[in-house]
A and B are shown apart, each in its own frame.
Chain A
Amino acid sequence: GESVGLHLPTLSVQEGDNSIINCAYSNSASDYFIWYKQESGKGPQFIIDIRSNMDKRQGQRVTVLLNKTVKHLSLQIAATQPGDSAVYFCAETPYSSASKIIFGSGTRLSIRP
């Protein structure tokens, strides 16, 4: 079936260090992957996306890596700041439904001062 899962439910990082959040997906036919950030009591906020024909994409302080061989996705946040504290979700769009976004279980990122 369609599912996207995460390796760790929580991640604690020292302020200024880099954060790496991992995600495993099960649908090898998925075409499009997205990382979202959700702060408490708010809706998901788009961070970065990547299509299945790419293996890396960089944004401002964030990088997404896609390994289709092992169906693994990661989000790297450089120089983590207190404002990065949130729950991060990976999500996928199965090829069979180009619009439907399936969310993973989420990782809570906390920042130590």
Chain B
Amino acid sequence: GAVVSQHPSRVICKSGTSVKIECRSLDFQATTMFWYRQFPKQSLMLMATSNEGSKATYEQGVEKDKFLINHASLTLSTLTVTSAHPEDSSFYICSAQTSGGASEQFFGPGTRLTVL
């Protein structure tokens, strides 16, 4: 149980295009989903927190107009990187949480984004 999937696992795009990444909780309903970014040899940095049916809360320094988050259902959240640039190349990881709090937060396998 408690499986979180991400799609795609890898994506390569041209500079200036937009890329959508999906995060799904496969066997549970997630009241909250989180998006992290991880640059090579660095830690995971929280980008935003999203609750189903409401606007996402972004961490300081994360541009909400560039990283669009939609949490349309209790099992799906999407992150769209708009007008992607090479500096947006990173490993994007989502996590999904039940109402149990951080002890019930499960991570996806990550999406490797490469912007050419």
Contact = CB atoms under 8 A, between A and B. Distances in A.
B44 A32 contact: no
B44 A100 contact: no
Report, as a range, how many residues of chain A touch the other chain. Answer: 20 to 34
Contacts of A34: 102
Given A89-B43, A89-B44, A104-B43, A99 B109 contact: no
Tell which of B4, B44, B91 has the most Cβ of chain A within 10 Å: B44
B46 interface: yes
Given A42-B110, A43-B108, A32 B43 contact: no
A113 interface: no
A93 B103 CA distance: 9
A102 B4 CA distance: 19
Nearest to A44: B107
A101 interface: yes
A99 B46 contact: no
A83 interface: no
Contacts of A105: 42-43
A93 B36 CA distance: 15
A44 B103 contact: no
B32 interface: yes
Given A42-B110, A43-B93, A103 B43 contact: yes
Tell which of B32, B101, B103, B108 has the most Cβ of chain A within 10 Å: B103
Given A101-B46, A103-B43, A106-B43, A43 B102 contact: no
Nearest to B46: A100
Interface of A: 32, 34, 36, 41-46, 49, 89, 93, 98-106
26 contacts: A32-B103, A41-B110, A42-B109, A42-B110, A43-B4, A43-B93, A43-B108, A43-B109, A44-B93, A46-B106, A49-B103, A89-B44, A93-B101, A98-B101, A99-B97, A99-B102, A100-B34, A100-B46, A100-B49, A100-B102, A101-B95, A101-B102, A103-B43, A105-B42, A105-B43, A106-B43
